[in-house]
Amino acid sequence: MRIPRFELERWQSVWENFVELNVSESGVKPYTLRELLQDSSEPEQELGRLMDARLGYPQTDGSEALRARIAALYPGAETANVLVTCGCAEANFLVAWNLLSPGDEVIILQPNYMQIAGVAEACGATAHPLWLREELGWAPDLDEFRRMISPRTKLIAVCNPNNPTGAVLSGEMITGICDIAAQCGAWILADEVYCGAELEGDLTPTFWGRSERVICNAGMSKAYGLPGLRMGWIVAPAGQIEQFWSAKDYTTIGVSMLSHKLAEFALAPKQRERIFERTRQILRENYPTLRDWIRGHGTSLRHIPPRAGAIAWVGYTGSRKSEEIAEELRAKKRVLIVPGAHFGMEGFLRIGYGYDRQHLKDTLARVDEVMF
Ligand SMILES: Cc1ncc(COP(=O)(O)O)c(C=O)c1O
């Protein structure tokens, strides 16, 4: 198995701890353990529970308690439909690795986090991008989608809310995607890791329950501000979960016991509500700074306001390569930004705004020095 380089993750892994200003992150400012527990009604008791947790192997598919909390987020799901994974990254890996064989075709709604594309290639499958259309508010053209399916289409990968655009698909669009997938018998893999990070309004509706061949992946790295827990999950039909669990014996076996305990705590309904409120507050507080900066550049910059996620997909005019801009920012200004090229699209930069306002203002001032 030869796996291609995952450009976005390499860029972040190598540099994120060696810059002054990092806007390559797509989630909100992570919690400290103190902040997380203090946010609860009984911080002392919670801390006590953590101190008393025996640091053995957890139940490797996830504790019953944790899987029950996760199942409760998906209408009609039960614990047998849930596998706990090491981040949404392991969830995505296990699904693609398990489902794809040489000769299979995958349709990926792009731009998208490029993990499925990379694993598909490593499995000998062929990935075809279905480009989301800016003029449709970063939604797909369903007629184009219909023309792309074939009996060999095994998997359709969608990220909703979308990374990098922050767009959310309408219910009608979700139905349309499910109908087309059903025509060719393909699985839908919906990466919903940004659900809960909506700036306004309701949570993004899940693909779960929209058709029989749906797999939903998510985790606590983005909307929950807990990427360091490395907590994710797969929600799928029980038979598929059995297979993914069995594949997990070869990857991480299980997620750490402390992460289990903290995730059980954070997913309790009241606590989850508090966490999402914090996330929204951060997003609402910071986004206007980014929006006003973009507007201030007239026709040189553009974006469609993100509905969710702490990211904006900012288009710029001119022919400069996005990686060249990102590298200059890194090397000369000690700023880490994500170039559009890492999503297969030139003329864009992904800017994370989930930290704090001053951090964002300082970053944008340095971007000005390089771009304008
Ligand atoms: C769409 C998407 N899926 C999965 C991941 C990986 O998430 P995790 O940190 O939960 O492994 C990311 C990280 O940026 C992402 O953007």
Shared-domain flag, residues 161 and 189? yes
For ligand 1, say whether the CB of 166 is within 6 Å of any of its atoms: no
Q: Confidence class of residue 42 from pLDDT cuts 50, 70 and 90? A: confident
Shared-domain flag, residues 65 and 148? yes
Shared-domain flag, residues 234 and 362? no
**Tell me, what CATH number does 165's domain have?**
3.40.640.10
Pairing relationship of beta strands 311-316 and 301-302 according to DSSP bridges? antiparallel
What's residue 223's pLDDT? 98
| 47 inside domain | no
| 126 inside domain | yes
Shared-domain flag, residues 72 and 21? no
How many whole angstroms separate alpha carbon 290 and alpha carbon 352? 9
Shared-domain flag, residues 193 and 230? yes
Ligand 1 atom closest to the Cα of residue 113 is: 1
| 277 inside domain | yes
| 345 inside domain | yes
pLDDT tens profile 76-98: 999 999 999 999 999 999 999 99
How much distance in Å is there from the Cα of 119 to the middle of ligand 1? Answer: 14
Q: What is the total count of domains within the chain?
A: 2
What's residue 188's pLDDT? 98
What's residue 43's pLDDT? 87
How much distance in Å is there from the Cα of 219 to the middle of ligand 1? Answer: 8
The SS3 of residue 156 is: strand
How much distance in Å is there from the Cα of 322 to the middle of ligand 1? Answer: 22
Q: How far is CA 304 from the centre of its chain?
A: 19
| 43 inside domain | no
Q: Which of 268, 291, 306 is the last residue of a domain?
A: 268
Q: Which of 220, 251, 268 is the last residue of a domain?
A: 268
Shared-domain flag, residues 222 and 139? yes
How much distance in Å is there from the Cα of 296 to the middle of ligand 1? Answer: 31
pLDDT tens profile 11-30: 999 999 999 999 999 999 99
Shared-domain flag, residues 239 and 358? no
Asked if 110 contacts 344 with a C-beta cutoff of 8 angstroms, the reply is yes
Shared-domain flag, residues 15 and 156? no
The gap between the terminal CA atoms of the chain, to the nearest Å, is 44
| 39 inside domain | no
pTM summary value: 0.98
Asked if 191 contacts 202 with a C-beta cutoff of 8 angstroms, the reply is no
**What's the mean pLDDT in 220-245?**
98
| 15 inside domain | yes
Give me the residues paired with residue 301 across strands. 316
Q: Which of 218, 248, 268 is the last residue of a domain?
A: 268
Shared-domain flag, residues 281 and 155? no
Shared-domain flag, residues 120 and 155? yes
Query: Whole domain around residue 187: which residue ranges?
Result: 53-268
- Among protein residues, the one whose CA lies closest to atom 2 of ligand 1: 113
Q: List all residues 6 or more positions away from 127 whose beta carbon is below 8 Å from its beta carbon.
A: 105, 106, 107, 108, 116, 117, 120, 121
Closest CA to 270 of 107, 53, 116, 46: 46
Cα distances (Å, whole numbers) of residue 345 to 136, 293, 302, 313: 17, 22, 15, 11
**Tell me, what CATH number does 17's domain have?**
3.90.1150.10
Shared-domain flag, residues 86 and 169? yes
Shared-domain flag, residues 345 and 290? yes
What's residue 129's pLDDT? 98
